[in-house]
Amino acid sequence: MVSKGDETRQLALDLGFIPVVPPKRNRLEPWENDRKMYKRRNEVGRLFRRLKGFRRIFSRFEKLDVMFLAFINFALIVDGLG
């Protein structure tokens, strides 16, 4: 029997993505995972959490794509300086 997690993992592989989520500890057939890549995934998630502090980004007040991207760049600069 194939679990939903196996199906999702196979779909990600078929689409050319590299799944980095580690298997559960009690899994009968665990797969190898890249711990460094998983750590980077965590860093990206934390960056998005910090960007959510800029309500303007997630409310999408800007109508023009160029202005939206400019504000994302501004938020990343502020985050980098902070």
Give tens-digit pLDDT for 42-69: 888 898 888 888 887 777 777 888 988 8
Residue whose structure tokens are 């993992």: 9
For residues 68 and 80, membership in a common domain is answered with: yes
Query: Residue 8: pLDDT above 80?
Result: yes
The arithmetic mean of pLDDT across residues 21-42, rounded, is 85
Question: Could you tell me the residue range of the domain that residue 50 belongs to?
Answer: 35-82
Whether 46 and 80 map to the same domain: the answer is yes
Taking the C-alpha atoms of residue 22 and residue 58, their distance in angstroms, rounded to an integer, is 29
Which residue would you say has higher pLDDT here, 25 or 14?
14
Whether 75 and 42 share a structural domain: yes
User: Does 11 share its domain with 39?
Assistant: no
Q: Give the pLDDT mean for 20-41.
A: 85
Per-residue pLDDT band at 73 (split at 50, 70, 90): very high
Shared-domain flag, residues 82 and 59:
yes
Whether residues 42 and 64 share a domain: the answer is yes
CA distance 47 to 41: 10
pLDDT surpasses 70 at 1: no
Work out how many domains the chain is built from and give that number.
2
Q: Looking at residue 64, what DSSP letter applies?
A: S
CA distance 52 to 54: 5
